[in-house]
Amino acid sequence: MWEQARAWLDDEQAEVDSIQAEVDRWTQLKNEELDLELWRDYDKGAKEAQGRLTEAIVWRDEAQAAFDAEDSAKQDREADAAAAQAAADAERVYMERDWAIWDLEAEIADLEYDIGGL
């Protein structure tokens, strides 16, 4: 799911970037134009592109929210997995310690028996 959310966000961001570039081109043409009729055409193009940009930004923001939710869930899963691994490692270390203690206690008992037999 994280990969899909990331891909959706990347696609929406690319769309926003593309439309923003179009808005910038229309605005540049409009700002450089001296002929009023052409200026109106460029202004109309810029406004239409701005409308599409506004809609694309809404979709991008929705994709961002979905990605943020997925990313947070992914981080939570990773943290849970790391905690579970740490707990398993600690359990293994405690078991190894217990076995070492039991081995030493057995050696002590054997030595006490040997000493008692002397």
Q: Is residue 108 part of a domain?
A: no
Instruction: Answer for the pair 56, 12: CB distance below 8 angstroms, yes or no.
Output: yes
Residues 6+ apart with CB under 8 A from 90: none
Q: Is residue 62 part of a domain?
A: yes
Percent of the chain with pLDDT over 90: 86
pLDDT over 90 at 43, yes or no: yes
Mean per-residue pLDDT for 111-117? 84
Mean per-residue pLDDT for 75-92? 96
Q: Is residue 25 part of a domain?
A: yes
**Tokens (6 digits) for 79:** 């943290």
Q: Is residue 106 part of a domain?
A: no
Residues 6+ apart with CB under 8 A from 23: 46, 49, 50, 53
Q: Is residue 107 part of a domain?
A: no
Domain count, the chain: 1
Instruction: Answer for the pair 62, 15: CB distance below 8 angstroms, yes or no.
Output: no
Q: Is residue 112 part of a domain?
A: no
Host domain of residue 56: 2-87
Per-residue confidence (pLDDT) for residue 2, from 0 to 100: 85
Task: Please write the tens of the pLDDT for every residue from 1-26.
Answer: 889 999 999 999 999 999 999 999 99
Per-residue confidence (pLDDT) for residue 116, from 0 to 100: 81
